[in-house]
Amino acid sequence: MSLQFRVVCVAATLAVFVPMAHGQAATEYRLSNDVPGDWPRQPVRAAHGMVASDEELGSQAGVEILKRGGNAVDAAVATAFALAVVEPAAGNIGGGGFMLVRLADGRTTFFDYREVAPGKASRDMYIGPDGKLDKLASVVGYKSIAVPGTVAGLELALKTYGKLKLSEVMAPAIHLAEDGFPVSEKLARQLEDQRTELQQFSVSRHIFLNDGKMFRAGDTFRQPELAATLKRIARNGAAEFYHGETAKLIADDMQRLGGLITLEDLAHYQPKLRQTLQASYDLDGHKWEVITSPPPSSGGVAIIEALNILRGVPLKGWEDAESVHLVVEAMRRVFADRAAYLADPDFAKVPVEGLTSDCYAKELAATIDLRHASSSQNVKAGVPHPCGVSTSNSRAPQAISLNDGPHTTHFSVVDAAGNAVASTYTLNAYYGSRVTSTAGFLLNDEMDDFTTQPGVPNTLMGLMQSDANAIAPGHRPLSSMTPTMLLRDGTLSFVTGSPGGPTIISATLLSVLNWMRLGMDAQAAINAPRFHHQWLPDVVVMESDFSASLEAALNAQGYTTRRRGHIGLVNAIGVDPKTGERLGAADPRDKGSAVGY
């Protein structure tokens, strides 16, 4: 039987046998006693609004703003500033990110505040005279820092859709920085883990290592330098960060200590408004719409391409090797295309329409052997094309992508009116470049998301990417961050996203499949075990709580498998289709927190 015919047969079978998947209406996929004892079994339910983030204090800051009459965007900006204080590993004002907004009236917008390469950056800046990549230079220290976008992006989002003033939504963050907050065991452990890296930089050592004395759980962590900077921003707006005293402090540090960013780079930084990517799926009599992230995120294209490949393919759950196999094969093909085609859309021609077309997805689905693993040696980037347009002869550039690294943070917000925000922002690595500005905040190492040397993996993510993602002044490095939402019959249904480098795409995709295709409850959709495949290396990475028998079944199909503690940290919100209640589902893998009212 031809592969194409077999895929069609499966689709036909699906229509008859697969149980109805209503998204949050169906029985929980995981039995409650399947998950570790301290994981929540149920989502947090609330009638009005909900914020789900990595940190309780961050979620509380957002809810405080909702209660004061702010909308979801006001709350998201408040949460982002608060996380910059209480989650220094990833929350930030010295990095960049994406914010996906859907208003209750149906308008959608994507705020792109990704960092850009400074004017003095150059294509081969990390390659030594010996032709070798300096692997540390793009991840630790001053040369790894790209021009931050967070403050400009948050201000733009607030000005576009918020109801409150910047000073109002920043108040919780200023309070947390000035008066301090109790150091959690998580934070104390992270700072200990990062001690060697952070102590190389005097301001990092002073602020985050308590001048070498280190913080213990329960200590109060005050950040007076950050509080002063936040107050100046609250007073003068983003102009303070890009033209004011903060800009001068950043540029002075750079000049003294070997960084590239100048006052001019900061003055020229611009966040962008982009159109969201959208796709729709008819399932069990319901119309589902996916609203997701456009380039320079690679994730939205990947999620739609994967969902298209899996359209009509039966999925039973992640204890079923056949289902895992089909999703892994979709991931493999999507990641091959990611590596070849995705880059900053302001400078590269990214074939978004072709990559997300159903006709192209059908061609890719037809290459999947229903019983056996494909080999990534044979699966190359495809030739994407919109329906009705024949494929050109041009082949994609070859590139490969591997592994992930920590750390980034995703949070979701839904307000009482039904406005929603999905936002992922990052310093790239845990604690970014480990460089702390004299102005009191950590700076990113986002330069490592570029193709640092053609044909050689970049340091943090082990990514080999195409030339379209080469370093050039003003370019945005390619990202995997994928804030995403689902609508069911035109109504907001699910808000999701994750950190995790390339595993962001897999974790976000699985949360969407769990909710939309498998009908899991919101918390079950987050608790369910995750797996990841990114084309190269040709390995299925699986969380440790998958059963040995499932792994054996995958091995029998020809897969190489590897276990990992956890993949992604998805902080999501569902909406109960019957009651309209907000269902906060924070990721228990690293003690996320959903707070509602």
Give the residue numbers marked as catalytic: 408
Q: Which stretch binds ligand DON (CB under 6 A): 244-252, 320-328, 378-386, 495-503?
A: 495-503
Q: Applying CB under 6 A, does 300 fall inside the site for ligand DON?
A: no
237 versus 502: smaller Cβ distance to ligand DON: 502
Tell me which of 153, 295, 501, 529 binds ligand DON, using CB under 6 A.
501
As measured in angstroms, the least distance from the Cβ of 89 to ligand DON is 9
As measured in angstroms, the least distance from the Cβ of 216 to ligand DON is 25
What gap in Å lies between CA 428 and CA 408, rounded to an integer?
Answer: 6
For the segment 473-492, give every residue that binds ligand DON (CB under 6 A): 479-481
Q: Applying CB under 6 A, does 582 fall inside the site for ligand DON?
A: no
24 versus 452: smaller Cβ distance to ligand DON: 452
CB 113 within 8 A of CB 97: yes
114 versus 362: smaller Cβ distance to ligand DON: 114
Q: Applying CB under 6 A, does 88 fall inside the site for ligand DON?
A: no
Q: Applying CB under 6 A, does 423 fall inside the site for ligand DON?
A: no
302 versus 421: smaller Cβ distance to ligand DON: 302
Q: Taking the C-alpha atoms of 463, 465, 468 and 469 in order, what is their torsion angle to the nearest 10 degrees?
A: 0
Q: What are the Cα distances from residue 203, in Å, to 38, 195, 233, 434, 439?
A: 37, 13, 20, 10, 9
71 versus 452: smaller Cβ distance to ligand DON: 452
Name the 3-class secondary structure at 81: helix
Q: What are the Cα distances from residue 168, in Å, to 59, 77, 251, 545?
A: 16, 10, 28, 44
108 versus 428: smaller Cβ distance to ligand DON: 428
Cis peptide leading into residue 537 (ω within 30°):
yes
Query: If you ran DSSP here, which 8-state letter would residue 147 be given?
Result: B
What gap in Å lies between CA 93 and CA 166, rounded to an integer?
Answer: 14
Query: If you ran DSSP here, which 8-state letter would residue 49 be given?
Result: -
Q: Applying CB under 6 A, does 405 fall inside the site for ligand DON?
A: yes
Q: Applying CB under 6 A, does 504 fall inside the site for ligand DON?
A: yes
CA atoms within 13 A on the CB side of 559: 31
Residues 132-161 vs ligand DON: string with x where CB under 6 A?
------------------------------
Q: Which stretch binds ligand DON (CB under 6 A): 53-61, 415-423, 499-507, 540-548?
A: 499-507
As measured in angstroms, the least distance from the Cβ of 43 to ligand DON is 23
88 versus 501: smaller Cβ distance to ligand DON: 501
Tell me which of 357, 374, 426, 453 binds ligand DON, using CB under 6 A.
426
CB 250 within 8 A of CB 439: yes
As measured in angstroms, the least distance from the Cβ of 474 to ligand DON is 17
> In what helix (H) or strand (E) does residue 119 lie, and over which residues does it extend?
none
For the segment 438-457, give every residue that binds ligand DON (CB under 6 A): 446, 449
Q: What residues contact 349, with CB distance under 8 A and at least 6 apart? A: none
Q: Applying CB under 6 A, does 406 fall inside the site for ligand DON?
A: yes
Q: Applying CB under 6 A, does 237 fall inside the site for ligand DON?
A: no
As measured in angstroms, the least distance from the Cβ of 247 to ligand DON is 23
Q: Which stretch binds ligand DON (CB under 6 A): 41-49, 219-227, 435-443, 498-506?
A: 498-506
For the segment 312-351, give every residue that binds ligand DON (CB under 6 A): none
Q: Applying CB under 6 A, does 180 fall inside the site for ligand DON?
A: no
Q: Applying CB under 6 A, does 53 fall inside the site for ligand DON?
A: no
Q: What are the Cα distances from residue 75, in Å, to 144, 226, 412?
A: 31, 20, 10
| Helices of type H across 48-149 | 56-67, 72-86
288 versus 535: smaller Cβ distance to ligand DON: 535
Closest C-alpha among 104, 179, 159 to residue 414:
104
CA 38 to chain centre: 25
Structure tokens at 210: 């308590």
CB 230 within 8 A of CB 173: yes
Q: Applying CB under 6 A, does 408 fall inside the site for ligand DON?
A: yes
Counting residues that bind ligand DON (by CB under 6 A) gives 15
What gap in Å lies between CA 392 and CA 287, rounded to an integer?
Answer: 33
336 versus 583: smaller Cβ distance to ligand DON: 336
Q: Applying CB under 6 A, does 571 fall inside the site for ligand DON?
A: no
As measured in angstroms, the least distance from the Cβ of 413 to ligand DON is 20
As measured in angstroms, the least distance from the Cβ of 408 to ligand DON is 3
Indicate the length of the chain as a whole number.
597
Structure tokens at 488: 């069911």
What gap in Å lies between CA 110 and CA 93, rounded to an integer?
Answer: 19
Closest C-alpha among 150, 206, 147, 210 to residue 423:
150
Q: Which amino acid is at 557?
A: Q
Q: What residues contact 548, with CB distance under 8 A and at least 6 apart? A: none
Name the 3-class secondary structure at 578: coil
Q: Applying CB under 6 A, does 499 fall inside the site for ligand DON?
A: yes
As measured in angstroms, the least distance from the Cβ of 383 to ligand DON is 25
Q: Applying CB under 6 A, does 500 fall inside the site for ligand DON?
A: yes
333 versus 407: smaller Cβ distance to ligand DON: 407
> CA angle 336-342-344, nearest 5°?
165
Q: Which stretch binds ligand DON (CB under 6 A): 134-142, 406-414, 466-474, 483-491?
A: 406-414
As measured in angstroms, the least distance from the Cβ of 428 to ligand DON is 4
What gap in Å lies between CA 341 and CA 593, rounded to an integer?
Answer: 36
As measured in angstroms, the least distance from the Cβ of 288 to ligand DON is 26
83 versus 487: smaller Cβ distance to ligand DON: 83
Q: What residues contact 53, with CB distance under 8 A and at least 6 apart? A: 59, 62, 79, 83, 409, 410, 411, 412, 571, 586, 592, 593
Interface ranges with ligand DON (CB under 6 A): 405-408, 426, 428, 446, 449, 479-481, 499-501, 504
